[in-house]
Structure 1
Amino acid sequence: MRVTNGMLITNMMRDYAKNMRNLEKLQSQLSSGKRILRPSDDPVAVSKSLKLRADLAYNQQYVSNADNAISWLEATESALKDLGDVLHRARELAVQASNGALAPEDRMAIADEIEQLQGHVVQVGNATYAGRYIFAGYRTDQPAFVEQNGSLVYQGDSGKIAFEIGVGNRIEVNVLGGEGGAEIDKIYDVLERFKNDLRSDNATNLGGYIGEIDQRMTQILSQRSMVGAKVNRFELIRARLKEEEINFTNLLSQNEDVDIAEVIVRLKEAENVYRASLAAGARIIMPTLMDFLR
């Protein structure tokens, strides 16, 4: 086969373009720090990266869920602590009121304080986290309790709010304000009857409230213990998720990132090849008619 000047130029231009593409790819890898610039570079690695990125996104969402769950539980624990403080003070007043030597005006003063404690119970029962009523079950968009005719009426339901912190792994975080939960309405009821007996000077019933208050305190302590245990569990889960996030990030880096030192060496090599191709091309195009007439 006869090799023509046109064939030499065509081959030279093809090789020249190939060297340019290789040089451009290496420069892009160096500037971006990424080994894979387009899916065609390494389809298998791209597929692996997509899976790792999905896992990382899920992991980050689980971390966010754990953070929100801990905040919810901490708000609940704070509210339960306030209820415990109310009951503790109510017990002190019940012990004081059971003393038969108290004057009627002293009982009225205790009744007034009990009424203030009732108001605080209502306020705590309608505590919120991020605008959601924490003791209302699923009905977080409305107050959990409302006062009606000397009673505290629970407006929530029995719904259990759970946060997902893994595939198929959900943990309930809310404490119900009514039956089976903190039973805040019953705390209010004890204080209401205690207050009324104080104001009606019904001294015979006053000593019995100590036991009722103790029962309510035990219920609140049980709920606080459960909340504290869940906070500890979520903190352990969050720590594990943080470690997994670091692991996923490292795997993604190993799959996508370039070895900078290796790329620099290859880039210098590609530059040398590119310059050599230019020099070779100049020698092919150089001859003219005058060169042949010499």
Structure 2
Amino acid sequence: MAIRVTQNMLNSHMLRNLSNSMGSMDKYQEQLSSGRKIARPSDDPVVATRGMFYRSSLVENGQFQRNVNEATSWMELADKAMDEQTSIMKRVNELAVYSGNVSLNSDSLKAIAEEIDQIKEQMGNIANQTVGGRYIFAGTDTQNPPYSYEQGDFVSTNNAEIRLEMNKSVFLPINVSGQALFNFPSNDKNVFKLLDTISAQLKEGKDVTGYITDIQQQEDNLNAQRASLGARVNRIELISGRLQNEEVSVNKLMSDNEDADIASVITNLKTQENVHSAALGAGARIIQPSLMDFLR
């Protein structure tokens, strides 16, 4: 049994098809103007979900890179401080050797002692090195200076590590232990007390060649701490390079996922315009003639 097709049915179908055709053109025009495949999640939930994942990955990557930059700042400053400390200890060693010169009188030895005192003050300045207002050799107690000018000694007992997440589940310490650096080999025989002892001996008119071994031990410990720091710096540089590569890869994936193929969009839009024009022509022919059409 045949279905009777009325004029209203033809008109309704024509309007629905024209609306769908215009919707397709609107979609292609929006893609062309925005450069994106979708304008809202409902356009393609899969593309939208992937886009959210890629954006979350970029945000996470950005935080890791900021942590790496902060760690790099801390470590570079610590390395510079230890480099200055190395130069100071070499000077102390030179003065200790020079004090053994038998031609030196007590005034000359006192002059050397005065230089040792100045070296100690500078060593205290190094121990109180800051970055962004935080003391880098004070463990996690970054608000209080580890070296006391009043006591003339390293007073901090905080030996905790400051750890930052450099990548997923990868935590690395960014600080250098002030205890290991300035309280070697112990609190009672640290570098500041050694300098005090050397200065006192010189002021009494005695040479300090007997402390050369102690001075060299301090230098060896300093070199060991710098080597440990250098190993961490190298690892962070590798992590930084990987994070930068990941950022490029995620951006590419996000572009492939969301960016429209402009050439394809233009072709589809032109094709749809032709289809729409044909639909309009066909629709004009199926509209039922009115009485006015016959009276013309």
* Residues in 2 aligned to 1:170 and 1:233: alpha-carbon distance in whole angstroms: 12
Alignment counterpart, residue 13 of structure 1, candidates 9, 12, 15:
15
Match of 2:135 in 1: 133
Letter paired with 2:292: M
Give the SS at the match of 1:138. Answer: coil
- TM-score normalized by structure 1? 0.91
Note the residue ranges of structure 1 that are not aligned, 5 or more in a row.
none
Kindly state the Cα deviation for residue 163 of structure 1 after the two structures are TM-superposed: 1.8
1:141 CA drift (Å):
1.5
Q: What's the secondary structure of 1:69's corresponding residue?
A: helix
Q: Specify every segment of 5 or more residues in structure 2 that has no aligned partner in the other structure, as ranges.
A: none
How many angstroms apart in 1 are the aligned matches of 2:110 and 2:215? 20
More displaced 10-residue stretch of structure 1: 253-262 or 134-143: 253-262
Sequence identity (%): 39
Map residues 102-113 of structure 1 onto 2, 5 A cutoff: 102-113=104-115
CA shift in 2, pair 1:34/1:202, >3 Å: same
What is the CA–CA distance in structure 2 between the aligned matches of 1:26 and 1:176, rounded to whole Å?
Answer: 61
From 50, 72, 87, the counterpart of 2:74: 72
Give the residue type in structure 2 aligned to 1:191: L
Deviating more after overlay: 4-13 vs 75-84: 4-13
Alignment of 1:180-199 (within 5 A): 180-183=180-183, 186-199=190-203
Q: Which residue of 2 aligns with 1:152?
A: 153
TM-superposed CA distance for 1:200, in Å, is: 2.1
State the alpha-carbon separation in 2 of the partners of residues 153 and 217 from structure 1: 18
Aligned residues: 290
Task: Tell me what 1:174 maps to.
Answer: 175
**1:163 maps to 2:164:** yes
Q: Quote the offset at 1:49 in angstroms.
A: 2.1
Q: Is the 8 A contact 1:182 1:223 kept in 2?
A: no
| Whole-angstrom CA distance in 1 between matches of 2:111 and 2:281 | 105
Letter in 2 for 1:53: R
Whether the aligned pair in 2 keeps the contact of 1:16 and 1:274 (CA below 8 Å) is yes
Task: Give TM-score scaled by structure 2 length.
Answer: 0.91
Residue of structure 1 in register with 2:204 after alignment: 200
**Matches of 2:66 and 2:154, distance apart in 1:** 34
> Is the counterpart of residue 116 in structure 1 residue 95 in structure 2?
no
Q: Secondary structure at the match of 2:260?
A: coil
Instruction: State how far apart, in whole Å, the 1-side matches of 2:36 and 2:150 are.
Output: 66
1:50-65 → structure 2 map (5 Å cutoff): 50-65=52-67
Listed one character per residue, the Cα deviations across residues 117-150 of structure 1 (whole Å, up to 9, x for unaligned) are 111101100111222111000011121211344x
Amino acid at match of 1:176: S
Cα separation, 2, equivalents of 1:263 and 1:181? 65
